[in-house]
Amino acid sequence: MKYNRTYNFSAGPATMPEEVLEEVRDEMMNYRGSGMCVMEMSHRSKVYQQIIDEAEQDLRDLMGIPDNYKVLFIQGGATLQFSMIPMNLMKNGKAVYIETGTWSKKAIAEAKKVGEVIVAASSKDKNYTYIPDCSDLDIPEDTDYVYICENETIHGVTWNKLPNTKGHVLVSDQSSMFLSKPCNVSDYGIIYGGVQKNIGPAGLAIVIIREDLIRDDLTDLPIYLQYKTHADNGSMYNTPNCWAIYVCGKVFKYLKKIGGLEEMEKINIDKAKVFYDFLDQSKLFKGTVVPEDRSLMNIPFVTGDPDLDAEVIAYTKKAGFENLKGHKSVGGLRASIYNAMPKDGVVALVDCLKKFEAEH
Ligand SMILES: *Cc1c(COP(=O)(O)O)cnc(C)c1O
């Protein structure tokens, strides 16, 4: 490896495309003749306006975002959206949430502070190892929206088929699967995510919101918490996370260059298959999620013995693989293999785990 970098399986902040880091390095001291680094630039400058405009346009091209959707760059990570969504969308004070793991649970807890939350389906009974059947949910007529976390980063479950919302607005947290595959934006009212899992540096959320969901009757809400504020000001009501937007823009261009989201999905399926095929034939390691709901991005797995799990983590670390410890709430191991993780990294990790298995 060119820079003696490690294979980093972190769930986020996570590995980035090397090509993007190289470009950022090359532009560090003098961004395209501006005489300064992007970190040093006024967000009101022409040169920065072009950076944010291009980032938005490239994201629109990649995802095929229709014109009646706004793209907002908002600080506060995905977590702030747990609050902003109910504060802005609960007109009738009622929303349906599907509970599929840690991140949807956190969103539920915040929404309950704003209005009535109906948990219409949950996979809690089996420790969030599957996606519940949501083809015929009981959804009250006056529900403001239906909320899902489309890829549960900690539990490693993903939605392959969206819930039947019966005509209600669908809101999706795509933090850990953003841009991992094509997405039909018009199926949703809001798609949002923190960018530090699958796109860029931490401290930024991207919110793709259908225009009719942006309300102007929320004047009592703190101004920063209204989507309208961000939409009316081109995501620059105040100083945005200029740096993260710049780097995300580079990742969008990189994804376009490699062939867009169709190509990215092919790569991700192929890459994840290497790991799941290994788990399925292993006598020592087991995946924790039912096969049909397995994530392409986050793969939790266990040996069944916490002491042995700890041994595996130490063993892989010594061999140069970082961040394979499962989240503290679930234990075991987890390999996060986002867009930027090369297949070589997954193959090398599997070889290492095979070696461990042979020795034990
Ligand atoms: C990481 C994560 C979050 C929280 O993101 P922050 O940017 O740290 O607030 C929310 N949802 C999902 C699915 C995540 O993976």
Among 183, 189, 200, 185, smallest CA distance to 227 is for 189
Cβ of 101 less than 6 Å from ligand 1: no
The strand pair at 298-302 and 333-336 is best described as antiparallel
Cβ of 288 less than 6 Å from ligand 1: no
For residue range 243-285, list pLDDT tens digits in order. Answer: 999 999 999 999 999 999 999 999 999 999 999 999 999 999 9
Q: How confident is the model at residue 329 (pLDDT cuts 50, 70, 90)?
A: confident
For residue range 180-219, list pLDDT tens digits in order. Answer: 999 999 999 999 999 999 999 999 999 999 999 999 999 9
Peptide bond into 163 cis (omega under 30): no
For residue range 112-128, list pLDDT tens digits in order. Answer: 999 999 999 999 999 99
What atom in ligand 1 is closest to the CA of residue 194? Answer: 7
Distance CA 151, CA 337 (A): 13
Mean pLDDT of 160-174: 98
Distance CA 263, CA 88 (A): 35
Structure confidence at residue 2 (pLDDT): 80
Q: Residues near 357 by Cβ (< 8 Å), separated by ≥ 6?
A: 282, 283, 284, 285
Among 258, 285, 267, 266, smallest CA distance to 349 is for 285
Q: Which of 70, 94, 197, 271 is catalytic?
A: 197
Pocket test residue of 102, 103, 174, 295 for ligand 1, highest count of atoms within 8 A of CB: 103
CATH architecture of 20-257: 3-Layer(aba) Sandwich (3.40)
- Beta-bridge partners for 207: 72, 192
Mean pLDDT of 279-302: 97
Could you tell me which CATH number the domain at 259-359 has? 3.90.1150.10
Cβ of 78 less than 6 Å from ligand 1: yes
Structure confidence at residue 1 (pLDDT): 61
What atom in ligand 1 is closest to the CA of residue 154? Answer: 15
DSSP character at residue 179:
T
Structure confidence at residue 330 (pLDDT): 87
Domain with CATH 3.40.640.10 in the chain: 20-257
Q: Residues near 178 by Cβ (< 8 Å), separated by ≥ 6?
A: 193, 195, 197, 198, 199, 206
* Residue 197 annotated as catalytic: yes
Helix (H) or strand (E) holding 231: helix 227-232
Structure confidence at residue 122 (pLDDT): 98
Cβ of 164 less than 6 Å from ligand 1: no
CA 148, 209, 60, 246: dihedral to nearest 10 degrees? -90
Cβ of 178 less than 6 Å from ligand 1: no
* Residue 173 annotated as catalytic: yes
**Phi, psi at residue 251, to the nearest 5°?**
-65, -40
Distance CA 293, CA 287 (A): 11
Q: Which residues of 307-325 are buried (b: 16+ CB within 10 A; e: fewer)?
A: eebeebbebbeebebebbb
Pocket test residue of 151, 153, 174, 196 for ligand 1, highest count of atoms within 8 A of CB: 153
Nearest residue (CA) to ligand 1, atom 5: 78
* Residue 159 annotated as catalytic: no
Residues 272, 277, 279: CA angle, nearest 5 degrees? 100
Cβ of 197 less than 6 Å from ligand 1: yes
What atom in ligand 1 is closest to the CA of residue 12? Answer: 1
What pTM does this model have? 0.97
Distance CA 197, CA 170 (A): 22
- The amino acid occupying position 55 is A
Domain with CATH 3.90.1150.10 in the chain: 259-359
Cβ of 75 less than 6 Å from ligand 1: no
Distance CA 259, CA 109 (A): 39
Residue 42: both structure tokens together: 């006024």
Distance 356 CA to ligand 1 centre (A): 32
Q: How confident is the model at residue 9 (pLDDT cuts 50, 70, 90)?
A: very high
Percent of the chain with pLDDT over 90: 98
Distance CA 199, CA 267 (A): 16
Question: Hunting for tokens 């018009």 — which residue is that?
Answer: 186
Give CA separation, 230 vs 90, 145, 237, 310, in Å: 18, 21, 6, 45
Structure confidence at residue 283 (pLDDT): 97
- pLDDT beyond 80 at 149: yes
**Phi, psi at residue 38, to the nearest 5°?**
-60, -30
